[in-house]
Structure 1
Amino acid sequence: MLKGRQGYTLVELIVVMAIFVTVIIVASAGFNTVLTHVGQQSKQMETDIGSVVGLELFRSDLQNAGYGLPWTFQSTPAAAGYTEVTTSDTGLPMTATFWPSGQSPRTYNDASTGVPRAVLSGNTNFNLKDGIGSKYLVLKSLTVTGSVDGTQKKWMTVTFGDTGKSAPSWNDATRDFSASEKVMVLRNTFANGTPSRQLQVNSGGAYSTTFSLYSTLTIPHSSGDMFQVYGVDQSTTPRMPFNRADYFVSTPATPPPACAPNTGILYKSVLNQGSGFTDIPLMDCVADMQVVYGIGPTDSTDVNFHQTTLPGTGSAQEIRQQLKEIRVYILAHSGKKDTGYKHPQSQIAVGESFGGTLNGRTFDLPTQIGAGWDNYRWKVYTLVVRPQNLIQ
């Protein structure tokens, strides 16, 4: 303290400086803690927002599986015009290293003579343990491409009566076809209580044409016939009478820096009508994806039991009639590594037991993720969807 004009003593200055330095150190430590916490929370929020968007897109695709698919063919399409995935295609599904021996995206083809199956799935070697790996899911429908031009969402009903053809338009530019858009035509029939949707194929084996010429695919017809005209692609001549998207988990060459080891990205890869896949990331930091099906009797919406395989032999008809529900389980973590956090469970059920044996698998985090597994916030995201275009 001051004594007249003598000023501070050296001891007093040292004490004041020590107090000042202590306050600065404490404040800095607190600030660092706040910054770390804010960083963790912001990354977790970023992950959560991204997951919501990607999973809602996935949910929509699951719900629309089977939309616009033919049940039978008027005649066999020309082999050159119905190819689906070929060895010349490009994209992540073609270069992925997780394929079991003898399998590839072509494993899920229905070309060149098969009626398309709305849903297919199988095993991969991604995080493989005890013979079970992350699943590969394939959805087939016209709307699964999600293109910005909206061609695949357009449709029109055409009927023939005693007075001629009726083909009313929507009077809406976003719903009416333009002359050059590529379309296909299905004949709707109902005989002996059994409905059918037959893909119209001309004498040359073509099943698609421009909208301006769609009527060539309604020949022959008679009074009472009803046809459905569906958009397939804006301008490209189709190589398959449907659109297809493949869903899988794969680790990119440069993984997201916030993700745990042995995790990957959940991708949606759209098979283009022209060539190749377009790869769309849906969700980061994914360790596993499992698929379970709810099965029920024909002509009922009831789910009698769940299993990891498709009903019966997995034919298009059995899928259409007996597949009532699709459940997808995705194991991922939110946020980045947090050394101050300890995850309480070392084993996580990716799937459900429904009162019996687990459908899916138990994921062992220490074994399959490795050291530091418990410094991540793990969560199983569950999608439960009833496909609206399958239930009869």
Structure 2
Amino acid sequence: MRTKQILVGQEGISIIEMMITMTLVVIVLCLNTNTFGVIFKYSRQTNQAVGAQMDRAVGFEMLRIDLEQAGYGLPWSFQNTITYQEASSAGYNDAPSGEPRALVSGNGVGYKGSDYLVIKSTTVGMSDTSQRWTYITDGVVPHSWGSNDLENGDRVIVVSPQAQGGTYGKRLIMDGANFFTTFSTTSFTAGFSPPTGERYVIYGVDKDTDLRRPFNRADYYIASPSKGARTDDSDGCAPNTGILYKATLNHGDGDLSAGMPLVDCVADMQVVYGLDTDNNGAIESRVNDISSLSASDIRAQVREVRVYVLSHEGPVDPGFRYPNANVMVGESASLGRTFNLSTIGTKWQNYRWKVSTLVVRTRGLSS
């Protein structure tokens, strides 16, 4: 017969102890939930800020390269009387027969008073052809580099490094009224081939479209997103901000391309030029308007271009307060402007605003 055992001194958990334990568990879970919420919030803000920084770095690098090579491949004179076409909107044109200016800009004429910048050279095009060049001496066979060569059918211009009288001058070679030709690796057009003892430089301009002008052109400007003006911050950018675009001028129809977005959440862009007015190699003055300068003056005087861009990093942050409503975009109020952030909207203080400065020494103006 089995004897019943009585458990002595072994007690269970009381209801009070269980309630205390459950309360502590709930408190810990709530703390973790709040912590995860804070971490997620700041992680999202950090990720968007880092993304904005990367986009800005890539966009500025494209602008820097184009500014450095402004004027590259541009003719300084024409062998014959020339007639060419540029943009449908004539504001920054040198057509129909003017010597092309490497740099042109509109001061305060762009989006909400921002500047508008135009760069002309052969290399600002978006095709591989526009990044290539070669030369031709006696005969009709251009030099081959062995890689990254111009290809048969590419549209090219031909430039003689000698102007009339034998001085250095980058004279555009023409065959009658024709100012461009198609490239051939074995039988280059006779009318664009040099006489014995001379060398011509061949610049690629476009892959397969007949040229409207003997150069490429890129316009940099701020505009609203393609979906329309921003009236709120639903896409992560402050209202009344835009996008910095690069648009190239088509040879087919003279219209600007749809534009490549470079930097988002942009409120302003200002352009300032450093001029060497006495040809001593030093910058004597800075201006924000070079509309009075000829193509020759621009080559001789413009030594530096500074671009100032006001944008913000990351989305709206109710816990952050930007300290100043007025931000200097540029050298001074006369070489740039004081931007009033309150025009952005009521939440302007909750964005991390930043003025980015791009300083570029021009290298292609005289090459």
User: TM-score surpassing 0.5?
Assistant: yes
Q: Deviations over 1:278-312 (max 9, x none)?
A: 2100000000000000011364432111010117x
Identify the residue that residue 101 of structure 2 maps to in structure 1: 117
Identify the residue that residue 205 of structure 2 maps to in structure 1: 232
Gaps of 5+ in 2: 1-7
- Percent sequence identity over aligned pairs: 40
Identify the residue that residue 3 of structure 2 maps to in structure 1: none
Question: Which stretch shifts more, 295-304 or 333-342?
Answer: 295-304
Identify the residue that residue 293 of structure 2 maps to in structure 1: 314
Q: Deviations over 1:60-119 (max 9, x none)?
A: 0111111100111122224xxx21112xxxxxxxxxxxxxxxxxx421111111111111
SS in 2 for 1:120: strand
Identify the residue that residue 262 of structure 2 maps to in structure 1: 282
Q: Which of 137, 151, 155 is the aligned partner of 1:182? A: 155
Which amino acid in structure 2 is aligned with residue 110 of structure 1? D
Shift of 1:268: 0.2
Question: Which stretch shifts more, 54-63 or 16-25?
Answer: 16-25
Change (3 A) 1:270 1:73: same
Change (3 A) 1:298 1:238: farther
Check conservation: 1:72, 1:196, Cα contact below 8 A. yes
* TM-score of the two chains, using structure 1 as the length reference: 0.83
Structure 1 position 264 matched with structure 2 position 249: no
Q: Which of 140, 143, 146 is the aligned partner of 1:169? A: 143
SS in 2 for 1:327: strand
From the CA coordinates, give the structure whose radius of gyration is larger: 2
Q: Deviations over 1:241-267 (max 9, x none)?
A: 100111001111255711011111000
Which amino acid in structure 2 is aligned with residue 63 of structure 1? E
Change (3 A) 1:13 1:194: same
SS in 1 for 2:21: helix
Q: Deviations over 1:343-374 (max 9, x none)?
A: 12221110114xxx6410011111x2121111
Alignment of 1:1-392 (within 5 A): 4=9, 7-78=12-83, 82-86=84-88, 105-122=89-106, 123-127=108-112, 133-147=113-127, 150-159=128-137, 164-165=138-139, 169-175=143-149, 177-189=150-162, 194-203=167-176, 205-212=177-184, 214-218=188-192, 222-252=195-225, 253=227, 257-275=235-253, 276-278=255-257, 279-297=259-277, 299-310=279-290, 313-353=292-332, 358-366=334-342, 368-391=343-366
Which amino acid in structure 2 is aligned with residue 181 of structure 1? D
Q: Deviations over 1:189-244 (max 9, x none)?
A: 167795211112222x211111136443337x655433211111111101111001
SS in 2 for 1:45: helix
SS in 1 for 2:245: strand
Which amino acid in structure 1 is aligned with residue 348 of structure 2? W
Cα separation, 2, equivalents of 1:168 and 1:183 = 12
Cα separation, 2, equivalents of 1:217 and 1:335 = 57
Change (3 A) 1:238 1:168: closer
Which amino acid in structure 2 is aligned with residue 269 of structure 1? A
* TM-score of the two chains, using structure 2 as the length reference: 0.88
Identify the residue that residue 4 of structure 2 maps to in structure 1: none
Cα separation, 1, equivalents of 2:284 and 2:166 = 24
Aligned length: 350
Cα separation, 2, equivalents of 1:300 and 1:229 = 32
> CA RMSD of the aligned region, Å?
2.3
Check conservation: 1:152, 1:230, Cα contact below 8 A. yes
Change (3 A) 1:291 1:151: same
Which amino acid in structure 2 is aligned with residue 35 of structure 1? F
Check conservation: 1:189, 1:226, Cα contact below 8 A. no
